[in-house]
Amino acid sequence: MADERILLSHGAGGLKTRKLIREVFQKNLGNAYLQQELDAALIKFSTNKIALTTDSFVVSPIIFPGGDIGKLAVCGTVNDLAVMGAKPLYLTLGIIIEEGMPFEVLEKVVCSLGNTAREAGVQIVAGDTKVVEHGACDKIFINTSGIGFVPPNIDLRPSKMLPGDKIIVSGSVGNHGIAILAAREGLNFTPPLSSDCTYLNYLIDRVLNLSSGIKCMRDPTRGGLATTLNELAQQAGLGIKLYEEAVPIDPQVRRACSMLGLDPLYLANEGKVIIIVSAKDASRVLEEIRKFDIGKNANIIGEVTDAHPSKVVMETELGTLRVLRMLEGEPLPRIC
C-alpha cells in the first residue's frame, strides 16, 4: 500500500472503489451509518426518519447529449434519497469553478440545475462557490448534499429481500455511460446516443404508494446494473438470477458497445432504478412504472434466489449460464 497511488480506476465504481472506501474512508471515518453502505444515511429524529446523502459530480464534457453537470448534480442526489424511500426536500450546493470558465457556460449549467430542482420538487437551500486556478480543477466540479423525509411506514433495505422476489429495472441500461464516452471522445453514432439523466422521485413515490411489497431499491450508477446487483446480492446474502433476454438495452447502445468492446451491463445509468419487489406485486408495479414516459421500457429482469448466495447469474439468450461479477477497475474500450 505504501507506494500505491490513486488511479482513475479507483473512481470507476467497481471493486477498486469499494476497496478504497473500506480501506481509507471506512477505516478512518467509520460509524454505524457509514457501515450500512446505503445510498443515503437514515437518521432517526424522535419517531421520524430523515435521509441524508451527498455526492460529487465531475463529468467531461460538462454539457452532453441528454443533460449537463447541473442536471446531473440534482438528479444524482435526488435519486439517492428516493431509492431509500425518502421524499427529497432540500439540497445544498458546492461549486468549484476553474478560472477562465465562460460566464455563459456557468449560467447554462446553473440554469439547468435550477430547472431540474424545480421539476423534481426540491429546493437548493445553501450554497458555496470557490474559484480555483486554471488547471486546479477541470472546468467545474459540483457537490450536492440532500435531505429527505422518510414516511414512517417505509423501510427499504437489502436484508428484506427473499427468494422468489422479482427484480424490476425501470428502463434500458447503459445509456448514460456510453453517451458520455461518445461525447467525450467525439465518437458520432447515428442515431445519436443520449444520457438517461433524470430524477426518479415521482416514479418511485408512485411505486411505494402502490405496493407494500417493495423490499429495496438502488440506482445503478457507476459500475452499472451488474455491479449494483452484485452489491445487493452480497448485502442480502442471496443470489440473483437474471434473464438476458429480459434486460432492456437500446439497439443503438448495443451497437456502440459491441463496436467498442464494452458491456452495457457495466455502464453507468443516471435515470434508472432497480426495484426488488415481492412476486405477488411485481406485475402490478411494472404496469404502473410503464405508465411513466421514463419507465416505458421497464421490465422484470430476474428474481432473487437462494441457489447461489451472493452471486449474480445470468441465463443468456442461448440458455447458458454466465456469472456476472462486479466491475473490476474501469471499463476500457478495446482496440477495434
Partner 1 sequence: MLGLKLSKEKLKPLLKEISIDRNIRIMEVCGTHTMAIAKSGIKQLLPPNFRLLSGPGCPVCVTAQEDIERILLLAEKPNVIITTFGDMLRVPGSNGSLQEKQAQGADIRIVYSPLDAVAIARHNREKEVVFIAVGFETTAPTVAVALETARKENLENFSIVCLHKLVIPVLRTLLEDQTTEIDGFLLPGHVSTIICTTPYEFIAEEFQKACVVSGFEAVDILESLWLISRQLKTGRFKVENQYQRGVKKEGNKVAMEAINRFFEPTGSLWRGIGEIENSGLKLRPEFSCFDAFLKFDLKDVQVKLAPSGCICGKILRGISKPEDCGLFGKVCTPLSPVGPCMVSSEGACAASFYYAGGDIIGR
Least Å distance between CB 330 and partner 1? 9
If binding is defined by CB under 8 A, does position 255 make contact with partner 1?
no
Question: What is the per-residue DSSP string for 208-248?
Answer: HHH-S-EEEEE---TTHHHHHHHHHHHHHT-EEEEEGGGS-
Torsion of CA 159, 164, 169, 170, to 10 degrees: -100
DSSP bridge pairs for 315: 243, 321
- Show the cell assigned to 84: 431509500
Query: To 10 degrees, what angle do helices 201-210 and 279-290 make?
Result: 140
Q: How far is the CB of 203 from partner 1 (least distance, A)?
A: 31
Q: Pick from 295, 265, 135: which is nearest to 205 by CA?
A: 295
Q: Phi/psi zone of residue 223: left (φ > 0), alpha (ψ -120 to 50 degrees), beta?
A: left
- CA 182/CA 9 separation, integer angstroms: 19
* 60 contributes a contact to partner 1 by CB under 8 A: no
Task: Please give the grid coordinates belonging to residue 281.
Answer: 406485486
C-alpha pair distances (Å), 272 with each of 103, 250, 311: 32, 13, 22
Q: Which one, 128 or 185, has the nearer CB to partner 1?
A: 185
x/- string (CB under 8 A) for partner 1, residues 263-302?
x---------------------------------------
Minimum CB distance to partner 1 smaller for 126 or for 321: 321
One DSSP character per residue, 26-83 reads: IHHH--HHHHT--SSEEEEETTEEEEEEEEEE--SSSEETTEEHHHHHHHHHHHHHHT
For residue 332, state whether it binds partner 1 (rule: CB under 8 A).
yes
319 binds partner 1 (CB under 8 A): yes
In the complex, least distance from residue 140 CB atom to partner 1, rounded to whole angstroms: 22
**Whether 264 contacts 257, CB under 8 Å:** yes
Between 212 and 251, how does the x/- string for binding to partner 1 read (CB under 8 A)?
----------------------------------------
# residues near partner 1 by CB under 8 A:
34
Cβ of residue 261: shortest distance to partner 1, in angstroms?
Answer: 5
Q: What is the smallest separation between the CB atom of 251 and partner 1, expressed in angstroms?
A: 12
Which of 16, 39, 110, 146 forms a contact with partner 1 (CB under 8 A)? 16
Q: Assess 61 for contact with partner 1 (CB under 8 A).
A: no
Site string for partner 1, 160-199 (x = CB under 8 A): -------------------------xxx------------
Handedness of CA 142, 147, 153, 158 (dihedral sign): positive
Nearest approach in angstroms of CB 5 to partner 1 is 4
Q: Which is nearer to partner 1, 15 or 106 (CB)?
A: 15
Altogether, the residues listed in the chain come to a count of 336
Is residue 313 at the binding interface for partner 1, with CB under 8 A as the rule?
yes
Stretch that binds partner 1, among 9-17, 76-84, 93-101, 228-236 (CB under 8 A): 9-17
- Which residues make up the interface to partner 1 (CB under 8 A)? 5-9, 15-16, 185-187, 258, 260-261, 263, 307-308, 311, 313, 316-323, 325, 328-329, 332-336
